[in-house]
Structure 1
């Protein structure tokens, strides 16, 4: 019975099933009919005692895996579905990441001092309960996060503090669209307008997906990028490129039907005609491919930086690689200048010595990556 309750708790968590589902009569009927031998726990028992027991098992397993190791702590915040502000603490030890605790700080002031108290309590928890040695702490580059890291070093000078470089690269992408040439900005705006229009007109989207199945043998979703989804601008552009043949086929044979999808209002018809004109621009998809070529190295770096096994020496090598890539004269000058300036600005704010030391301590590289004239 205890094992059944524990597995049921895990099932509800991994399937994202609400606890109140246990109080739905048909759910209880289903379990009684097909699993009649087991005593089905109620919502309060499953989300209370059983959940607490499972959480304790997870903590014991984490402790067993990380005990005695050095670890990096991390924290970040978000709003959940109930609009509560949540802070989560994470540790990374031996190339594995573990979610440890979450805190609801909806009623608290969102400042660096309060964040510092949470971090200090977590360092104490990691040290005393999980029995690890915390050697570094990582946050994003928000004002509160940056100030908290400065305060943390004042309290615990033996700890290294670092920015989340996946977030930093996302900011570099933002700098591109602030400083890039008007042609690049307009191209991205056109791409987003096309995505929005098709996603908001179900009949047109259905026609596009039918054409995709014929031309590509599968239906692809058009991706609308959002700022909190790193790499989504690249993926949005890439998806349009992947669907190029379907768009071309649709424009060749069903333009009139696409216009009808807009409805009867004149402004809606004009919007549909505008979207079609954007798709029919000479060289539109060729220019999209060039835009994707500029965004791809940054998307790759972002995925590299947000992996569980990223090290400081990897960050430095990847940054050097990005600097080399965007020094290529074949790339758009405005994008090159924006990326190089952004990388230099963000690198200047780092504790550079620890990155260089990590690279020198890499037994496969040592000092071979540095110029002989480098200081």
Structure 2
């Protein structure tokens, strides 16, 4: 890390970003004695324009798009397709949210895992700004499937009995999802679809 700039008070324009980019390049070349060969940003309109302006001023610098961001945009496009399998991505997110909100359920899940596999796996939540998080969250949910099915088999009545009407309804939906064989097949398909994209993202966001 060379420099972190607080841009909260700055105008969000390409010209302002260009000024910060030129300042960073100057700092690297004068203070560090290094040559800057490339500069990348995300793909917002202001960022693209700032890269174009930078190339006009410093034509020797390469200014590509951030490929890690490009791959993440592809993932976003995939989730926008609400086909027969796309709906199961939403179901997975709802199941993850329900699991992470129920400390008692998580405690029972940990006990089941310790008895059956001798270790515990955390329920992962997908976060949009973490490029690989959907793939990792879905892969982890698939790894937790045996423990989740055992959880429902052993504790379904107890799980449904607690909470208010709204809470019980969410619990019933989560249990139905865990019992849904088609859901697990769709989730495995999502994992297979996202895996090569995630691997490419990991390569492109490396140092």
Does TM, scored on the shorter chain, surpass 0.5?
A: yes
**Which of 114, 117, 133 is the equivalent residue of 1:213?**
114
Tell me which residue corresponds to 2:38: 136
**Conserved in 2, the CA contact under 8 Å of 1:199 and 1:205?**
yes
Tell me which residue corresponds to 1:266: 165
Root-mean-square deviation (CA, aligned residues, Å) is: 1.3
Matches within 5 A, 1:100-111: 100-111=2-13
Tell me which residue corresponds to 2:71: 169
* TM score, norm. by length of structure 1: 0.53
Deviations, residues 63-89 of structure 1 (Å, cap 9, x unaligned): xxxxxxxxxxxxxxxxxxxxxxxxxxx
More helix by share: 2
Deviations, residues 312-355 of structure 1 (Å, cap 9, x unaligned): xxxxxxxxxxxxxxxxxxxxxxxxxxxxxxxxxxxxxxxxxxxx
Within 2, Cα distance between the matches of 1:102 and 1:252?
51
Within 1, Cα distance between the matches of 2:53 and 2:40?
13
SS in 2 for 1:120: helix
Matches within 5 A, 1:117-196: 117-179=19-81, 181-196=82-97
Tell me which residue corresponds to 2:195: 296
Q: Mark the structure with the bigger radius of gyration.
A: 1
SS in 1 for 2:78: helix
Unmatched runs of 5 consecutive residues or more in structure 2: none
RCO comparison, higher one (Cα < 8 Å, 6+): 2
Within 2, Cα distance between the matches of 1:118 and 1:105?
9
SS in 1 for 2:177: helix
Tell me which residue corresponds to 1:251: 152
Tell me which residue corresponds to 2:105: 204
Tell me which residue corresponds to 1:58: none
More strand by share: 1
Unmatched runs of 5 consecutive residues or more in structure 1: 1-98, 309-375
